[in-house]
Chains A and B, each alone.
Chain A
Amino acid sequence: MTYSIQIKVMPLKELLDPQGKAVLGGLANLGLASIKDVRIGKHITLEVEAGSAEEARAKAEEASKKLLANPVMEFYEIELVN
């Protein structure tokens, strides 16, 4: 069956995220001063043909590790939707 998988790719927590910083400045200009931090990553959805949820997750894991995220600068979280 086909499994829907969502992958969150985020810059490593210790890394400066210039994009998030620029957006934080924009939010402050809107008067939303209570927002103290913004970090911006990627949201990737996959449709995976697999025999089981475990197999689908394993494929997504391989995809994330080998291409979708770069472990030098990013971490990822995989979520199985169905």
Chain B
Amino acid sequence: MKFGVVVFPGSNCDRDMYDALSYELGMEVKMLWHKDKDLSDFTTDDCIVLPGGFSYGDYLRCGAIARFSPLMQSLGEFVAKGGKVLGVCNGFQILCEAGLLPGALLANANQQFICKNIHIIGEEGQVLQIPIAHGEGRYYADEATLDALEAGGQVIYRYCDAKGNITPAANPNGALRNIAGICNAERTVFGMMPHPERASSKALGNTDGQEVFKALLLNAVPA
């Protein structure tokens, strides 16, 4: 399995993502420019990553302009074929704006940019400490969509306290149902606000982020 990390104008977590996947996890990683159209190097075993940042200055809405990048057109076809995609932070916002994941990311309920370590709980009940850094991370979708996500097992991470309790107090941004990350019904497109790439190096004191890549992509049993 190899990875492609997309750089948009305004991406700023692309190198961190490269380092986490390449140096920490030993994966083959290729950097992609948003004007690249050719994804023929990538098979359905591979994963394209949309990193965090402020693509196109967050103009209009976060992620709204990035979806028109030439690469995003190819990405739609890649997803249709069954290729895997992971969007982190701004990448998650782009996936929602592009319609590859349902819902939207709204301004944080407290109207502040939040940059801190928080806890999330995964589908297997594993509690991880991962940093968030966003101003617009409050996951929102209508009730029917939220019910469908839960029924389909598409909520991959929720905000929780250090013990794994999913409480309003542990919800940093007011996300509905404490949702920190979701996937599509086919489990090929993943989006999350927390930054696993910022918590993947022993030298930085936290490797919980590696568990995210393993759970979602590396250890995942093919459907």
> What is A's interface to B at a CB cutoff of 8 Å?
11, 15-16, 18-19, 21-22, 67-68, 70, 72-73
Q: Which residues of B pack against A, CB within 8 Å?
A: 60-61, 64, 96-97, 103-104, 106-111, 140-142, 174
Contact B104 A19 (CB under 8 A): no
Given contacts A18-B107, A68-B60, A72-B142, 7 further A-B contacts (CB under 8 A): A19-B107, A19-B111, A22-B111, A70-B97, A70-B104, A73-B104, A73-B140
Contact yes or no, B97 A18, CB < 8 A: no
CB-defined contacts of B96 to chain A, threshold 8 Å: 72
Contacts of B174 in A (CB 8 A): 16
**Shortest distance from the beta carbon of A26 to any chain B beta carbon, whole Å:** 12
How far, in angstroms, from A70 to B140 measured CA to CA in the complex? Answer: 12
- Taking CB atoms, residues of chain A closer than 8 Å to B60 are 67-68
Contact A18:B103 (CB < 8 A) given known A67-B60, A70-B61, A73-B140: no
By a CB distance below 8 angstroms, the chain B residues around A72 are 96, 103-104, 140-142
* Distance in Å: Cβ of A12 to nearest Cβ of chain B: 9
CA gap between A18 and B138 in the complex, in Å: 11
Q: Which residue of A lies closest to B103 (CB)?
A: A72
Interfacial chain A residues near B108, Cβ < 8 Å: 18
Minimum CB distance partner of B145 in chain A: A72
A18 touches B111 (CB 8 A): yes
The distance in angstroms between the C-alpha atoms of A68 and B142, with both chains bound, is 20
